[in-house]
Every structure is written in structure tokens, then in C-alpha cells.
Amino acid sequence: MSEKIRILFVDDEPAYCRIFRSRIGRDPRFLVETAQSGEEALLRLQQFPADMVFTDLQMPFMDGIELMTEIKNRYPYLFVLILTGLDSTSQAVKAMKAGAYDYLLKPLDFDMVERAIETVCAHRSAFRSHATPDDAQRRGFSFENIIGQDRKMFEIYEKINQVAQTSATVLITGESGTGKELIAAAIHAKSSRKDGPFLQVNCAALSDGLVSSELFGHEKGAFTGAVGQKKGLFEQASGGTLFLDEIGDISMTTQVALLRILELGVFQRVGGTETLRADVRLICATNRDLARAVTEKQFREDLYYRINVVSLQAPPLRERTSDIPLLANYFLDRFRALSGKQIEGFTADAMELLCRYQWPGNCRELANIVEHAVVFSRNRMLSPGDFPELLRQPAQPKSSVTLTSPSTTLADVEASLIRRVLEEKQWNLKQAADALDIARGTLYGKMEKYSIRKP
């Protein structure tokens, strides 16, 4: 570790700042700065390019979560760790959901602090490999073109590193737009086959007949239009990796042929008799529930087990909201460069909007929305008005829960009632709490619990 690790410690108690500085700052590997409020921390960060921030949760004015949100907006690549007392662990959970890397209990155990710093450093350096000078400020968050610093993503990176060393067939599952193709490309790039080809095919985009000929090739005259011999992807990808996207959509006939390749390592071109040997690492992806397709007899069970030797699940974006600012800025950089516009960033409101939206189309949808905003915005900062109305709509119309629906739970009803009363009271918390006959703190807690926010 040649460079010193820069740590900003934020706590409104000066004594805590002193202790932290003297205990952690005496380690030659670390450089420590302290701040006694969220506002001071933000000022400090302008001069002190920290690698990580430790912040107390409860502070007057700007609390730890507000500070973290602001930091994530301005410096999406920064790791934030939250310090909390035993009495406020529920807040710590909230902080984790809002993107904290970890939380530590107060009074601080400095061995734990050191371990936390070392874990952050390990993650940073393990995934730093592809940083270019332009990426400098995003050190550690790009892993083979995959952007993300949520824990779930680090788990993916670790798994990619592990499976890349083997030749096992990998099944990547996850909703559309979660980056399955990037993960497949990363496995290839990290593997010993990296100098060989990486080819991919979207099975859903091809008709049944075409999939077979695309994968295995065909002989001249094998079918109408087969005017010459054609090598399939299994031959073209020899020595490399073949990525079969939307594997759940292939026909039973193709499933049998694939099974043969996986079991015996051989195949034949369509219309051919020659048995060819495949030297290809196979990575498959699907956004379908393949296990279910197996039970419904739409997918062969034996093939399912063959392709599912190692499985990797790409998390949906709504489950790693802490990555939204990072990704939004990444896409902004990309499209700003293409458009030549001088857009500086996102307003806080705009970022909040992006972080609150559910992203059914995941990273692809985020990329599209940022691109659209960059193309059409006339402002230096992207603001809520630059984004589609869709983002401003509440996730679900919770205020209209059908009480007779068998799936309605007590929590649904409570959330619905709270939302309705808040709307009636124009989001005046005191009046709403009075109307519901609960304390304002309780109302606030329930709003947190059900993610109810003023639109």
C-alpha cells in the first residue's frame, strides 16, 4: 500500500475527533482529517480528497444520513461508514439501505475500525485494475466496465474472479438491463481464454431454425437459402467464450444439441454428418425463471443442471440504490462526452428523484433516461424537469389498496391509511399524527418503514 489512505472522520463531539485522530492517525498508512459537522465535512472534502468517510449518525443540523446523501451526490465513488449507538441500530439499517458501506457501533472498537478500513482498501485495490486517468476519481469502482460499489456488486466481482479461473459453464440470471452481458464479458476478460474470441448471441432474437444454424453452422443446401457452408458460433468462438443470452427461449431441439455439446463436447453443423469438437467456454444468461420453466416442462432439467454449474445473480438496480448516483454520473460523463455539452451534474432534487424511482428497466433504463436528459437539457445542471414524468409518479398507488384482495396485508392497510391521511393533511406531519392519534415520532418511523415520502 504505497499511497496513504485518506480518511475523514465526522463527529460533533470534539473529544471523539481527537481520539480518532490520535488512534488511527498514528498509523503511517493512514491520513486522518476530522470535521465536527456535516457542513464542515463537505467543506473539508473540497480540499481533502478522502478515500472514505466515517460519520456519526446523530448530529445537529445535518445528520449522518443527510451528509452521506450529499456526499454520494457530489462524490459518488466515496465509501461512507456510519457510526451509531446501540439505541439507533434501526437508523443504521436505514443508512445501509441509503448506501452506507458499513456501520460501526459506538463506543468505537478501534481494532474494528482498522479492520473496516482494511476491508475498504482491499475492495478498492482489488477492483482498481482498470482505472484510466479519466477514471481517476472513480478509483476502485469500475470492474471490467461494470460500475458499482454496492456490497452486492462486490460479491459479483469476487465471484467473477473465482469462476474466471475455471472453465465451468456459468448461468447469469437477473432482470433485463442489470448488466448480465457485462458480467459475461468480464468473466471472459479475466479468464485464460481472454486472448480468444468473445462471441454472443441473443437466442430470443432468432427464430428456432436460425438459432441452430447460428450456433452450429450449416452445410451447403441444409435448408433453403443455405447457399454455402457456414461456420457456427461454436466454431468461430473456438479457444474463447460463447455467451448465449436469453437461453430460456431456445427450442427443445436446440436444447438437445446444446446438451450434447456440454456432455460430450461435440456437435454437427445443420445438415452435416461430420462430428466437430467444441473448445468453447459457455456462459448463459436469462431473465426468465429457468427453474420454473423446468417444472413447467419448457426447459430440459438435464440441460438446466449442465448450464447452472455456477450461477451468478445480477441484482436489480432498486436493490442497490447506493449505486444510482455513481451510475448516473458515469452515464452523464459518457453522454456529455458524446454530446459535447457542458453539463456539470445533477441537482440534489434530480438525484433524489433518480434514487427514489424503482427502475424496472434497471441500468439500461437509467442510461437511456440520462442520455435523453443530456440531449434535451438546456441547463448546466440536470434538474427534475429534464426527466420524464414517469419518474415523479409514486411507485405504486398505495393509497388505493383493495381491502378485499386476499393478498392485502395489515401493513398494506396501515401504509395506505397513513398515506391517505398525509395527503389529506397536505403532508403536515403534526396534523397527520394528531389525526391518526399517534406521536409524530411514531408517524415518522412508520413513514420510514413504508418508504412514504412527500411527492
Ligand X SMILES: Nc1ncnc2c1ncn2[C@@H]1O[C@H](COP(=O)(O)OP(=O)(O)OP(=O)(O)O)[C@@H](O)[C@H]1O
**What's the burial of 15, exposed, middle or buried (CB within 10 Å: 0-12/13-18/19+)?**
exposed
Q: Within the chain, what is the greatest distance between any pair of CA atoms?
A: 84
Contacts 24+ apart (CB under 8 A), 410-413: 411/450
Residue nearest to ligand X (CB): 179
Q: Taking the CB of residue 377, how many other CB atoms lie within 10 A of it?
A: 17
* Least Cβ distance, residue 148 to ligand X (angstroms): 5
Interface residues toward ligand X, by CB under 6 A: 146-148, 174, 176-182, 245, 287, 314, 327, 363-364, 367
Q: Which is nearer to ligand X, 38 or 179 (CB)?
A: 179
Question: 347-366 in b/e burial notation, b at 16+ Cβ within 10 A?
Answer: beebbebbbbbebebbbebb
* Least Cβ distance, residue 163 to ligand X (angstroms): 17
Q: Which is nearer to ligand X, 388 or 441 (CB)?
A: 388
* Least Cβ distance, residue 178 to ligand X (angstroms): 4
Q: Which is nearer to ligand X, 54 or 77 (CB)?
A: 77
* Least Cβ distance, residue 369 to ligand X (angstroms): 12
* Least Cβ distance, residue 245 to ligand X (angstroms): 5
Q: Which is nearer to ligand X, 20 or 79 (CB)?
A: 79
Residue labelled with grid coordinates 460501526:
104
* Least Cβ distance, residue 182 to ligand X (angstroms): 4
Q: Which is nearer to ligand X, 255 or 329 (CB)?
A: 329
Q: Which is nearer to ligand X, 145 or 409 (CB)?
A: 145
Phi-psi region of 362 (alpha: psi -120 to 50; beta: other; left: phi over 0): left
Q: Which is nearer to ligand X, 88 or 178 (CB)?
A: 178
Residue at 377: amino acid letter:
S
* Least Cβ distance, residue 142 to ligand X (angstroms): 8
